[in-house]
Amino acid sequence: MSAAEAGLAPSDATAWRGDPYTEALARGSGPLYLRRPDGSVLPLDVERWCGAVDPVDAALLDRCEGGVLDVGCGPGRLVAALAGRGRPALGVDLNPMAVARATASGGRALCRSAFDPLPEEGGWGTALLVDGNIGIGGAPGRLLARVRDLVRSGGLLIVETASEDVCERVTVRICDGRGRLGDPFPWARVGIPALLRLAERAGWARADTWAAGGRRFVALRSTPGGAAGAAGAASPQPEWSAEAPRGNRMAPTTAER
């Protein structure tokens, strides 16, 4: 499935390539936010992304099986840590600066979308969608279906979810808190209940859930015969069930008011 087939417009695919995101990665620090049309924002933890793995990350990596594919790897702290453990791992990210940082830190990374052709498709033991990356493309059902094609039968997917029970698609722009804005693109936020509903339809079964350091995670296991679920995820409308809460806006910060 290509980015175009997944419904990603060119602006969606290139949103993470430009400033101010690239400048924040180059510095290794924020402030940086995802900003909604109403002015509310979600802070992006650039310092954590550009740093070394913390105990929460390390415990997550302990759960990984086989070769690991980090979707939206950013500056690559996880693939670098896996490489340091002698584990086969690959990160994919749309931002050249992120990929450069990942490789400079000892990780292996490619500048690609998750929907582009990738090495060893169908053979990865574990895939990661952490640091909010379940929101890629604003269509988590399609993303879950795509990742299922990337892992082996019975493979593992670890997803970091929103801390609250939320299921929403929103148009956002990257901003630096000083008035600089990137291009608009779709993003999604899902909590654990919404994720589990979408995952089941995309051919995944719940393996575990946990919380650590103020972050929430779900481990999913790919199931046999999941093609029907993946096909169901190809239609964008059913992803946003009427039973799924939509509230909990991103809180505005002082810098953005």
User: Which CATH number characterizes residue 92's domain?
Assistant: 3.40.50.150
Work out how many domains the chain is built from and give that number.
Answer: 1
How does strand 151-161 pair with strand 124-129?
A: parallel
3-state class (DSSP) for residue 29: coil
Listing DSSP states for 60-99 in one string gives HHHT--SSEEEET-TT-HHHHHHHHTT--EEEEES-HHHH
The radius of gyration computed from the CA coordinates of the chain, to the nearest angstrom, equals: 17
Is the separation of the CB atoms in 82 and 69 below 8 Å?
Answer: no
Residue 256 belongs to some domain of the structure: no
- Angle at which helix 192-201 crosses helix 140-150, to 10 degrees, equals 60
Bigger pLDDT: 10 vs 30: 30
Is residue 227 within 8 Å of 203, Cβ to Cβ? Answer: yes
Residue range 79-136, pLDDT digits in tens: 999 999 999 999 999 999 999 999 999 999 999 999 999 999 999 999 999 999 999 9
How far is it, in rounded angstroms, from Cα 1 to Cα 148?
A: 12
What percentage of residues in the chain have a pLDDT greater than 70?
A: 80
Its domain, for residue 172, covers 10-232
**Rounded CA gap, 83 and 171, in Å?**
35
246 domain residue, yes or no: no
Quick check: is 205 in a domain? yes
DSSP state of 223: -
Task: Please check whether residue 249 lies inside any domain of the structure.
Answer: no
pLDDT in tens, 132-152: 999 999 999 999 999 999 999
Question: Does 255 map to a domain?
Answer: no
Q: Does 3 map to a domain?
A: no
pLDDT category of residue 6 using cuts at 50, 70 and 90: very low
Task: List, in order, residues 6 or more apart from 94 with CB less than 8 Å away.
Answer: 13, 14, 15, 16, 17, 111, 112, 113
User: Is 248 within a domain?
Assistant: no
pLDDT at 246: 41
Whether residue 177 is contained in a domain is answered as yes
Distances (CA, A) of 79 to 48, 54, 204, 228: 14, 13, 24, 32
What is the chain's mean pLDDT, rounded? 85
* Dihedral sign for Cα atoms in the order 14, 19, 21, 25: positive
